[in-house]
Amino acid sequence: MTAELSPIDKAKYAAARRSVDFVESGMKLGLGTGSTAAWMVRCLAERVKAEGLKVTCVATSKRTATLARDLGLSVVGMDDVKWLDLTIDGTDEFDPNLNLIKGGGAALLQEKIVATASDRMIVIADAAKEVAQLGAFPLPVEVIPFGWQTTKALIEETLYSLDVLNREVTLRLNRKRPLKTDEGHYILDLNLKRIGNPRQLALVLNQIPGVVENGLFIDICDVVVIGNGDGRVTVRDINSGRVEDAAVDMTLDANVFTDLGD
């Protein structure tokens, strides 16, 4: 059933499939955004259907909310629950401390609010997302449209005093116009190549007027589930130090694939 998927998609599916084993009936769940998170939503919907689990979900974007509702999951607003048991989300990069760069899908603001307000955050990723040091993936920063060029100039100036390798800042576009996030903000992508001190950078960026939030997730992620195209997964828990290897049966879950519709 997975034969038509690319190796990367198989890896994303394997990580997603394993991550939903952490879900228990009665949980309030944060649902991430992106292609890996979309696999997780499909796997979760399958478990809910097959086992009659009762879960309440908060989505980190409009597109995740639509997918989850279409698959029959109960989706409420963040203010309806205020706090969550578990959030499962993808990432653009993760380092050995499970610090992350997120926001490739422009949902970093809601993703950070939801993950921070969760007892536990599990990140699901294909093995290519693992890096020794963050920064090869451009760091997304969400900014207010008013005066965004001034905000960009302030960010560029600030970067000169920080330990980064490159200092190129670009406005993210969508069909030649500024991309607007679900909250109506813009995204600046910071092409830094290497981030020497992610904690410091995250704090400094958020001091700049016009910056709403940055895509560095520091000390937020508890567990990473790393998937491979052959179905092997590694689960790494930063708090306990435990590392577990397992294998996901890639021939099961036919419904997940027939639900795809895209």
Shorter beta-carbon distance to ligand 5RP: residue 46 or 89: 89
**Gap between the Cα atoms of 1 and 207, Å rounded:** 49
Candidates 80-88, 107-115, 205-213, 244-252: pick the segment binding ligand 5RP (CB under 6 A).
107-115
Beta-strand pair 93-94/216-217: unpaired
In what helix (H) or strand (E) does residue 31 lie, and over which residues does it extend?
Answer: strand 28-31
SS3 assignment, position 92 = coil
**Long-range contacts of residues 235-243, Cβ cutoff 8 Å, at least 24 apart:** 235/18, 236/98, 238/97, 238/98
**Gap between the Cα atoms of 1 and 115, Å rounded:** 32
19 part of the interface to ligand 5RP, by CB under 6 A: no
Candidates 67-75, 100-108, 154-162, 201-209: pick the segment binding ligand 5RP (CB under 6 A).
100-108
Cβ neighbours of residue 70 closer than 8 Å, sequence gap 6 or more:
none
Q: How crowded is the C-beta side of 105, counted as CA atoms within 13 Å?
A: 21
135 part of the interface to ligand 5RP, by CB under 6 A: no
Which DSSP category does 161 fall into? T
89 part of the interface to ligand 5RP, by CB under 6 A: yes
Residue found under tokens 């990723």: 125
229 part of the interface to ligand 5RP, by CB under 6 A: no
35 part of the interface to ligand 5RP, by CB under 6 A: yes
90 part of the interface to ligand 5RP, by CB under 6 A: yes
For 247, other C-beta atoms within 10 Å of its C-beta total 12
Active site residue 111: yes
10 part of the interface to ligand 5RP, by CB under 6 A: no
Out of 87, 91, 118, 151, the residue judged to bind ligand 5RP by CB under 6 A: 91
**Gap between the Cα atoms of 194 and 14, Å rounded:** 29
For 131, other C-beta atoms within 10 Å of its C-beta total 16
Candidates 90-98, 184-192, 199-207, 235-243: pick the segment binding ligand 5RP (CB under 6 A).
90-98
Beta-strand pair 56-59/28-31: parallel
110 part of the interface to ligand 5RP, by CB under 6 A: no
Contact yes or no for 63/45 (Cβ under 8 A): no
**Smallest gap from residue 260 Cβ to ligand 5RP (A):** 15
Shorter beta-carbon distance to ligand 5RP: residue 103 or 229: 103
User: Annotated catalytic residue: which of 4, 24, 46, 111?
Assistant: 111
**Gap between the Cα atoms of 58 and 259, Å rounded:** 21
Candidates 18-26, 67-75, 99-107, 205-213: pick the segment binding ligand 5RP (CB under 6 A).
99-107
32 part of the interface to ligand 5RP, by CB under 6 A: yes
18 part of the interface to ligand 5RP, by CB under 6 A: no
231 part of the interface to ligand 5RP, by CB under 6 A: no
**Smallest gap from residue 164 Cβ to ligand 5RP (A):** 20
Residues that bind ligand 5RP (CB under 6 A): 32-37, 89-92, 102-108, 111
The residues that are catalytic are 111
